[in-house]
Amino acid sequence: MDLNLQYWNEGQSFFQRFLQWVDLLDPTVLLSSKAEILNSRTFLQNYGQTLKIPDEDKKVKEAWKLSLTSVHPDTGNILPTVFRPPALLPIVAPLAIATLIPHKGVKPALFWQLLFQSYTAGFNFANGNASFKEGKNPVKQIFFVFGAVSYTACMGIIPQIMMNRYKLNSPLMQTFLRKIVPVPLFACLSAFNVAAVRASDLENGIEVLDKNGNVVGVSQKAGRKAVEETALSRGVLMGTVAAIPELLISLLRRTQFLRLSPFAQAPIRHMITALVLGLMMPVSFSLFQPTGKIQREKLELNIQSVTQETELYYNRGL
């Protein structure tokens, strides 16, 4: 079992995972060189006892920080810098802000939807499960990613198309299509993006491991569980990012400050969106254990027949 999977298999509570992710999502980690990342992995591999050393040991803590944020647990490869978890906030924040603001036309709305969905699809692909390589066709993977981006971007601009095509300019329809519909739509499309990009996990399954890290088999049921949990966590993240700023701005409009300074509304909305995204990211990543667990009786019969382990493990992905 990879070091990163071992780390997340220590039975941490939600609150413990949350605090760990708050630390791991530090963007300064992105400045670390490839040599520093490899050295951190070597350090952890050479000193196996450090798996149990408390985080008070600064050297061990920094080594784990680099390993957990920079290395894929299935392949052992270093993740592209822009798709590492600490890069999500500085990249997604401006994209989410630009995607969620009301647009006057379809073209700018489509442009920002394409950028947002393209990046999130890349992140989902880079951080997904990569254990069962034999069942993955590179051409099909590209098709899944392209299809996810195209579909979610087009679906994301439906409210804008409806307003432009049917001239829905009444205050009620404007409120409905600009402020209410985008919240569940943004959440559902973000969840769908995960499911579509990782469709091969649903189709071919992912590897499940015993407690010693030995591969027991390849399970579609484990793959479905991993994708469902990841999609749900992403939907919660993006749905909250879409809902909270709009709700707070609606309340702040009643204050004297915004009545006297209406132009301050846009920058305040942008700051709230970035803040909510920053606060919700560790919550989203902590909802489910990165090293997923599944009961043996819930797996396929061919896997149940080759092991007596009551609980098996898999990499859920991010």
pLDDT tens per residue across span 201-229:
998 899 999 888 889 999 999 999 999 99
Element (H, E) at 314: strand 311-315
Residue linked to tokens 């919660």: 236
Q: Are 240 and 276 in contact (CB under 8 A)?
A: yes
State which residues form the domain around 141: 81-315
Q: Is residue 226 part of a domain?
A: yes
Report which of 262, 263, 212, 267 is spatially closest to residue 245, judged by C-alpha positions: 267
φ, ψ dihedrals at 281, nearest 5°: -60, -50
Q: Is residue 64 part of a domain?
A: no
Q: Is residue 234 part of a domain?
A: yes
- Classified as helix, coil or strand, 313 is strand
Q: What is the pLDDT of residues 35-71, one digit of tens each?
A: 999 999 999 888 764 445 554 478 888 999 999 999 9
Q: Is residue 2 part of a domain?
A: no
Distance separating alpha carbons of residues 72 and 153, to the nearest angstrom? 28
Residue linked to tokens 């647009």: 103
Report which of 240, 105, 106 is spatially closest to residue 182, judged by C-alpha positions: 240
State pTM to two decimals: 0.91
| Percent of the chain topping pLDDT 70 | 96
Across 105-133, average pLDDT:
92
Q: Are 144 and 200 in contact (CB under 8 A)?
A: yes
Q: Is residue 62 part of a domain?
A: no
Distance separating alpha carbons of residues 89 and 126, to the nearest angstrom? 16
Q: Is residue 127 part of a domain?
A: yes
Q: Is residue 170 part of a domain?
A: yes
Query: What are the beta bridge partners of residue 78?
Result: 71
Q: What is the pLDDT of residues 222-266, one digit of tens each?
A: 999 999 999 999 999 999 999 999 999 988 888 888 888 888 888
Residue linked to tokens 């209410």: 180
pLDDT of residue 50: 46
Q: How many domains are there within the chain? A: 1
Q: Is residue 154 part of a domain?
A: yes
